[in-house]
A and B are shown apart, each in its own frame.
Chain A
Amino acid sequence: AQSVTQLGSHVSVSEGALVLLRCNYSSSVPPYLFWYVQYPNQGLQLLLKYTTGATLVKGINGFEAEFKKSETSFHLTKPSAHMSDAAEYFCAVIRYGGATNKLIFGTGTLLAVQP
């Protein structure tokens, strides 16, 4: 069965600093991985996805993530944090089996950006 683990429920960075949000996955088959962002009082917005092909994927708002099979990781990064990046970030993996490919989410990481 597929699962994801997000290390660090809260991450705080200064504006302009590197953002690194960690996600490790468990999957017996090649995974499809996603990062979603949830701004306060809003729904889940897709940041980026990895399915096959290039292991470094670029998303919206300057975020990117690298799929590392050897480390079973899919960490999310952004070179320079902006105040507007403050939100909760969820890593997710598609669970195979059945007809539906439901998403399995991590517990989320709340990102705070300090001025």
Chain B
Amino acid sequence: EPEVTQTPSHQVTQMGQEVILRCVPISNHLYFYWYRQILGQKVEFLVSFYNNEISEKSEIFDDQFSVERPDGSNFTLKIRSTKLEDSAMYFCASKMRSSNQPQHFGDGTRLSIL
């Protein structure tokens, strides 16, 4: 069964550094998402991406965050200048067009900011 894959599985970065989290969504999916889960808290929506542009973003997704689909297969989340509070598990998800189709999640990237 096709899967969403995320790399790396764990990223350790110094505060203030830029980090890029990578995702390869399922190939025939059209909607792409990033979610975040701070340790011990619930999964929160960050941003969605459709038709090569952001379609919705949360208040968490400020100017330090950006997303890109550079080559038609990868879907990346960039944090320009990381803060301690960016430490979390970041999940990528994708789904097909239909509104009631489930989102398929990757295994996540654990981001640790030192």
Contacts and interface: CB of A to CB of B under 8 A. Distances in A.
Given A100-B31, A100-B33, A102-B45, A43 B102 contact: no
Interface in A30-73: 32, 34, 36, 41-46, 49, 51-52
Determine the interface band of chain B, counting residues with CB < 8 A from chain A.
20 to 34
Contacts of A45: 105
Contact of A100 (B42, B55, B108): B55
Label chain B's interface by main secondary structure: strand
A44 B50 contact: no
A75 to B, nearest CB: 18
B86 interface: no
Interface residues of A, number: 26
A49 B4 CA distance: 19
Closest 4 CB pairs of A and B: A100-B48, A43-B107, A51-B100, A44-B105
B43 interface: yes
Given A43-B107, A51-B100, A90-B43, A102 B91 contact: no
B44 to A, nearest CB: 8
Interface of A: 32, 34, 36, 41-46, 49, 51-52, 90, 92, 94, 98-108
A56 B99 CA distance: 20
Interface string B9-44: 000000000000000000000010101000001111
B106 to A, nearest CB: 5
B108 A43 contact: yes
Given A34-B102, A43-B105, A43-B107, A99 B43 contact: no
